[in-house]
Amino acid sequence: MKAIIPVAGVGSRLRPHTFTLPKVLLNVAGKPILGHILDHLVESGVTSLSLIVGPMGDLIERYVRENYDIPSEFILQAQPKGLGHAVSLGLTKEDKEVLVILGDTVFDLDLKNVLKNARTSCIGVKEVEDPRRFGVVETRGDQVVRLVEKPEHPKSNLVIVGIYLIRNAPALRNSIDLLFERELTTRGEYQLTDALQLMIEQGEKMSTFPVNAWLDCGKPETILATNRYLLDGDDFKLPELREGVVFVPPVYIHPETELSNCIIGPYATIGSKAVVSDAMVRDSILGEGAVVKNVLIEKSLVGNNAIIKGDFQQYNVGDSSEISSV
């Protein structure tokens, strides 16, 4: 089974971090977002990868080749023409079936079981309160009857979460080609949802499978939420106790860190070669080589080799006084 993984997005909502690093390589719970996804794919039996890259795609290629022994190709999407266009770049005439999975969304499901037992094409779904921002799935029984990309008035609260098992890859290829020929776009882009709807209209059977957790990594607050979820779910081994250092689980601490007189956690990820001194770090992610001294860090993303230094104050404050730090 080949997996097509679109990772060409620029991650504008995660700037300034994505000025120097692709969104999918941002660290969450001890490894890049893409690493969590690839671990899941390899464990589920995926045998090859086709990654659709954009700016800084060379960094993605280097990460995958250095960390995964799986046949992989890297294809440039030169212009952002939509998910349907991105998937078309990874499809070949030889493909009989493919798995399509977004590269910036961490998920929790038994993918191996889905790949083994699904008899028809199927889509990962989850119920949400406000489905208007997503591709919406309308079903009859266990079959999909209609897919609509970001509808103004959704008829269902079941949405597509970015995992697609396509048992008939040639039919998908033909449907995407039809979008191109007719210039059928939604909001100016060729959408995979529209191609799948064409497949359904042409008689392709399509079902759904539930996704237990769907963790978006598109904004700082959602990356931190994903970090909390992953730290809660995995049994991370704490490093050896160090004098003057307190760990409040759950945390991920890279073995190669320099920690002194600090409190780490809960929900902190500390990258390799990071330095934390005279500080508290909680509900935050510190990148590789980050330096944090004399501050309280909370709900924060600190990039690779970034430096934050504060200044503890001494006060002698009389009755009925007020001091505000700005």
C-alpha span between 188 and 178 (Å, rounded): 16
In the prediction, which pLDDT does 196 show?
93
Q: What is the residue type of 19? A: F
In the prediction, which pLDDT does 320 show?
43
Which of 296, 255, 258 is CA-nearest to residue 274?
Answer: 258
In degrees and rounded to multiples of 5, residue 225 shows phi and psi of: -65, -40
Low-confidence stretches of the chain (pLDDT beneath 50): 319-321
In the prediction, which pLDDT does 52 show?
97
Which of 102, 217, 202, 218 is CA-nearest to residue 161?
Answer: 102
* Three-state DSSP string of 52-67: EECCCHHHHHHHHHHH
Where do the domains of the chain lie, and which CATH numbers do they carry? 2-220 (3.90.550.10), 237-309 (2.160.10.10)
Residues in contact with 275: Cβ distance below 8 Å, sequence separation at least 6, in sequence order: 257, 258, 259, 290, 291, 292, 293
